Structure 1
Amino acid sequence: MARILALDFGTKRTGIAVTDELQIIASGLTTVATKDLMAFLKTYFEKEKVELMVVGEPTQKDGSASQSEVYIQSFLEEFAKQFPQMPVKREDERFTSKMAFQTMIDSGLKKKQRRNKALVDEISATIILQNYLYNA
């Protein structure tokens, strides 16, 4: 089997999470500047076998698309051009940032560490991936 990669896409930073090869455990991988995301993915796909990418789908409370969906769609179009063989699934990401922040509190991180937005993005990507695995 191959890994599943998940993205918590943002206009500045993108959190990335990945499964183990058996697709049992979701773990945070890193956070990269969104402008460097395609280059990061190209390098990662060359090193690791990935069979699916899951991208968070931000929605409003009423279920309508959030403002950042425009940027995600643009990214997905470019991604499809560069990686036409890689399937992409979407996973609801409502409240993942709040859940990530609560996870940081629950794990005992100090207030200064909880201000690390990159870590919030990475944990959010992990939650998106965990939700995908649970619902798959």
Structure 2
Amino acid sequence: MQEYARLIGIDVGKKRVGIAQTDLLKTIATPVGTFSPEEVFTEIKKINDQFPVEKFVIGWPLSLSGEEGSATQMVEKFIKKLRNYFPDIEIVKIDERYTSNQARTLMVEAGIPQKKRKEKGRVDRIAAAIILQNYLDSNSD
């Protein structure tokens, strides 16, 4: 494990991919942005060029009953592409059920106006941060 490196949280969607990153001490997750599936790998490379990325934490979209389906197949295709671009970086999948709802709740609590809360990209990048923070919280010493 590298002392100064980042973890990247990824919320994969059909139209947009939300990205979040940790600080260099890997304690806090912060939203980075929302990107098209075509441009997301360029953005991840920019982050990795700045400071090494130690691990990708990807939301695994199980159904409410915990089953895999078409959404998990889409994410699996994304993971294969990600492995091609970054073969030496570990990939971890975590259950992402309810993260979009949590993102919306957080925006309400933060006082973000309703019009801005409806921006899908905003929800996606906050969901990526929630996925990443959940991973950090469940793997802290």
Same fold flag (TM > 0.5): yes
Partner of 2:111: 108
Deviation at 1:40, TM superposition (A): 1.8
C-alpha distance in 2 between matches for 1:82 and 1:110: 38
Q: Indicate whether 1:7 and 2:10 are aligned.
A: yes
Give the alignment partner of residue 29 of structure 1, picking from 24, 27, 32.
32
Q: Secondary structure at the match of 1:84?
A: coil
Which region of structure 1 is more displaced relative to structure 2, 95-104 or 65-74?
A: 65-74
Could you tell me which runs of 5 or more consecutive residues in structure 2 were left unpaired when the two chains were aligned: none
Q: Secondary structure at the match of 1:121?
A: helix
Give the alignment partner of residue 94 of structure 1, picking from 74, 86, 97.
97
Deviation at 1:17, TM superposition (A): 0.6
Partner of 2:68: 65
Deviation at 1:99, TM superposition (A): 0.6
Give the alignment partner of residue 40 of structure 1, picking from 40, 43, 48.
43
Partner of 2:54: 51
C-alpha distance in 1 between matches for 2:81 and 2:109: 37
Q: Is the 8 A contact 1:6 1:129 kept in 2?
A: yes
Task: Using the aligned pairs only, state the percent identity.
Answer: 35
Over residues 70-127 of structure 1, what are the superposed CA-to-partner deviations in whole Å (9 max), with x where a residue is unaligned? 1111111121122110100011100000110111111111111111111100110010
Structure 1's consecutive aligned runs of 4 or more residues displaced over 2 angstroms after TM superposition are none
How many aligned residue pairs are there? 136
Could you tell me which runs of 5 or more consecutive residues in structure 1 were left unpaired when the two chains were aligned: none
The Cα RMSD (Å) is 1.0
Partner of 2:138: 135
Q: Secondary structure at the match of 1:35?
A: coil
C-alpha distance in 2 between matches for 1:100 and 1:56: 14
Q: TM-score, normalised by structure 2?
A: 0.92
Q: Indicate whether 1:17 and 2:20 are aligned.
A: yes
Q: Secondary structure at the match of 2:38?
A: helix
Q: Secondary structure at the match of 1:113?
A: helix
Partner of 1:79: 82
